[in-house]
Amino acid sequence: MLEKLKKMLPKAADENAIAVYPMMFAMLLLIVGIFFVKTETGAPDIGVIGNLVFLSVLVVIGPYLIKKYLDYMWIKSLEEQFPSFLRDLAESQRSGMNLIQALSSAADSNYGKLTPEIRSMVNHYTWGVPFERIIETFVSRTGNSELMTRSMRIIKEAYASGGNITSTLDSVAKDVAVIKDAEREKKSALGQHVSIMYAIFFLFLIIVLALTKILIPMFKQQSLSLSGGGGFGFADPCGLCSGVKADLNCTPCSIYGVVCSMFALNAGVGCYYTALFFSMLMLQGIFGGLVAGQISEGSATSGLKHSMIMTGLGFATFSILIRIGFLGF
């Protein structure tokens, strides 16, 4: 499945297409929403535009993250077979082969995703390309793997200096195997922390839904009591911002207004608190995903895929529950 998806996406050399085409499609969506979807008064429909903005973000970021994930999985599959490949090269050299003959022998073996790269190295040599250049070409194709880059450059230096290439291959293979074992242990240990981040998000989602379902009707009832002269109650805080322009303190109310329009909620205390809880959920999803990426892969950028999953699930949950009438006031 991953291989079919990878073939559907542009090659690494054409990564600009992954950014340009989705961005063009996203801009088309926004243009349609702004200029062709109108309310009864002829003004742009803010709710539709808000939904299209959210969809456009997914359209722009999604293909990029998918491509990065497929490249990451490809590199990891190469690294898994790399120690075996180096050990087999060393064994072939011990049997009397030179390094090029050992490479040709390895090209007939099965090293998974690494096999085509080995065959490419052999083909380059048959075309008369110097071995050092072949190594650099391999490094440039697998440049996202620091492990293989360092290893191949050590082998290149050993080959160029005329040293004992067999012992070098053995040493590099052992070091790579130890590093991969350490990475597997780290991934196993930290994987549960990523699961905890997802559990925290879903727990937060349940709490937000419960607050929205139970408390907001109480707030609305109290708001009606207050407007009827009943004393204590909850009013819409954004009511003070009605008609106010360019006030920084009213910026959240502008955002909440867009959220309510996206979900077709009427203005008022119910709209305010529903939008508030929804915004809190989106922030939890975004930053929870970034933390999950930092924990699992050592990079907050890698957590963008977790952020997309969490925010997408939160948005879909709110949309569905409001659509079926479970939420919405």
Q: Which of 229-233, 247-251, 275-279, 320-324 has the lowest average pLDDT?
A: 229-233
Considering the domain architecture, whether residues 227 and 287 belong to the same structural domain is answered as yes
- What pLDDT does 1 receive? 47
- How far apart are the C-alpha atoms of 176 and 186, rounded to whole Å? 15
Inside any domain, residue 38: no
Q: Which of 77-81, 128-132, 244-248, 301-305 has the lowest average pLDDT?
A: 244-248
Considering the domain architecture, whether residues 259 and 315 belong to the same structural domain is answered as yes
Considering the domain architecture, whether residues 292 and 225 belong to the same structural domain is answered as yes
Amino acid residing at 206 = I
Residue 251 CB contacts under 8 Å (≥ 6 apart), including other chains: none
Q: Are 252 and 301 in contact (CB under 8 A)?
A: no
- How far apart are the C-alpha atoms of 102 and 95, rounded to whole Å? 9
Inside any domain, residue 28: no
Q: Are 159 and 165 in contact (CB under 8 A)?
A: yes
DSSP letter at 325? T
* pLDDT at position 137 over 60: yes
The pair phi, psi for residue 97, each rounded to 5°, is: -80, 150
Considering the domain architecture, whether residues 329 and 215 belong to the same structural domain is answered as yes
Tokens 């072949």 belong to which residue? 134
Inside any domain, residue 25: no
Q: Which of 19-23, 57-61, 125-129 has the lowest average pLDDT?
A: 19-23
- What pLDDT does 16 receive? 67
Amino acid residing at 110 = N
* pLDDT at position 329 over 60: no
Inside any domain, residue 6: no
Distances (CA, A) of 163 to 79, 160, 166, 167: 25, 8, 9, 9
Considering the domain architecture, whether residues 118 and 246 belong to the same structural domain is answered as no
Q: Are 56 and 30 in contact (CB under 8 A)?
A: yes
Q: Which of 23-27, 43-47, 183-187 has the lowest average pLDDT?
A: 43-47
Inside any domain, residue 13: no
Q: Are 58 and 312 in contact (CB under 8 A)?
A: yes
DSSP of 288-306: HHHHHHHHHHS-SGGGHHH
- What pLDDT does 214 receive? 83
Considering the domain architecture, whether residues 137 and 255 belong to the same structural domain is answered as no
- What pLDDT does 243 receive? 64
Q: Percentage of the chain surpassing pLDDT 70?
A: 85
The pair phi, psi for residue 328, each rounded to 5°, is: 110, 125
- What pLDDT does 201 receive? 93
* pLDDT at position 285 over 70: yes
Considering the domain architecture, whether residues 314 and 197 belong to the same structural domain is answered as yes
Inside any domain, residue 12: no
* pLDDT at position 202 over 80: yes
Considering the domain architecture, whether residues 194 and 169 belong to the same structural domain is answered as no
Token pair of 270, please? 């119910």
Range of the domain at 261: 190-329
Considering the domain architecture, whether residues 177 and 220 belong to the same structural domain is answered as no
- What pLDDT does 8 receive? 46
The pLDDT tens digits of the residues spanning 52-109 come to: 888 888 888 888 878 887 888 888 888 888 889 888 888 888 888 887 888 888 888 8
* pLDDT at position 151 over 70: yes
Among the candidates 139, 155, 182, a domain finishes at 182
Mean pLDDT (the chain) is 80
Considering the domain architecture, whether residues 170 and 141 belong to the same structural domain is answered as yes
Distances (CA, A) of 20 to 23, 31, 61, 122: 5, 16, 11, 36
* pLDDT at position 10 over 50: no
Considering the domain architecture, whether residues 153 and 200 belong to the same structural domain is answered as no
Q: Assign 143 to helix, strand or coil.
A: coil
Among the candidates 153, 182, 211, a domain finishes at 182
Q: Percentage of the chain surpassing pLDDT 90?
A: 7
Inside any domain, residue 97: yes
- What pLDDT does 158 receive? 83
Among the candidates 114, 147, 182, a domain finishes at 182
Inside any domain, residue 24: no
Considering the domain architecture, whether residues 140 and 196 belong to the same structural domain is answered as no
- How far apart are the C-alpha atoms of 55 and 272, rounded to whole Å? 23
CA-nearest of 217, 218, 234, 204 to 327 is: 217
Cα dihedral 250/280/23/294 (nearest 10)? 130
Tokens 């030179």 belong to which residue? 98
Number of domains in the chain: 2
